[in-house]
A and B are shown apart, each in its own frame.
Chain A
Amino acid sequence: MMEDSKKLEEFQAKIDADVKIEPKDWMPEKYRQNLIRQISQHAHSEIIGMQPEGNWLTRAPSLRSKKILMAKIQDEAGHGLYLYCAAETLGVKREQFLKWLHDGVAKYSSVFNYPTLSWADIGAIGWLVDGAAIVNQVSLQGTSYGPYSRAMVKICKEESFHQRQGYEIIVNLANGTKEQKQMAQDALDRWWWPSIMMFGPHDADSAHSNQSLKWKIKRESNDELRQRYIDKTIHQGEHLGLTFPDENLKWNDKTKHYDYSPIDWDEFWNVVKGNGPGNKARLAHHTKAHNDGAWVREAAIAFQEKQKLKSKIA
Chain B
Amino acid sequence: MSKDNQGDLWEVFIQPKAGRPHKHVGSLHAYDKEMAMKSARDLYTRRQEGVGIWIVKAEEIISSQAADAESFFDPADDKIYRHPTFYELPDGIKHI
Contacts and interface: CB of A to CB of B under 8 A. Distances in A.
- Interface range for B: 20 to 34
A159 to B, nearest CB: 12
Interface stretch (A91-99, A137-145, A176-184, A235-243): A91-99
A158 B47 contact: yes
B6 A95 contact: yes
B89 to A, nearest CB: 35
Number of chain A interface residues as a range: 20 to 34
Nearest to A300: B31
Contacts of A294: 3-4
A88 B6 CA distance: 12
A101 to B, nearest CB: 12
A78 B43 contact: yes
A118 interface: no
A103 interface: no
B88 to A, nearest CB: 33
B26 A74 contact: no
A24 B32 contact: no
B7 A81 contact: no
B51 interface: no
Nearest to A290: B4
Contact of B29 (A94, A151, A154): A94
Given A94-B29, A158-B47, A303-B31, A24 B66 contact: yes
A95 B4 contact: yes
B28 A81 contact: yes
A24 B47 contact: no
B31 A150 contact: no
Contacts of B26: 82, 85, 150-151, 154
Nearest to A161: B47
B2 interface: yes
Contacts of A298: 3
A284 interface: no
Nearest to A150: B26
A78 B39 CA distance: 10
Interface in A60-89: 71, 74-75, 78, 81-82, 85, 88
B4 A98 contact: yes
Nearest to B11: A85
Contact of A301 (B31, B42, B43, B67): B31
Contacts of B66: 22, 24-25
A304 interface: yes
A80 to B, nearest CB: 10
Contacts of A71: 46
A150 B35 CA distance: 24
Contacts of B5: 95, 297, 301
A261 interface: no
A268 to B, nearest CB: 32
B6 A303 contact: no
Interface of A: 22, 24-26, 71, 74-75, 78, 81-82, 85, 88, 93-95, 98-99, 150-151, 154, 158, 294, 297-298, 300-301, 303-304, 307
Given A294-B4, A297-B7, 9 more contacts: A26-B67, A78-B43, A85-B9, A93-B6, A154-B25, A158-B46, A158-B47, A301-B7, A307-B32
Interface of B: 1-9, 25-29, 31-32, 35, 42-43, 46-47, 63, 65-67
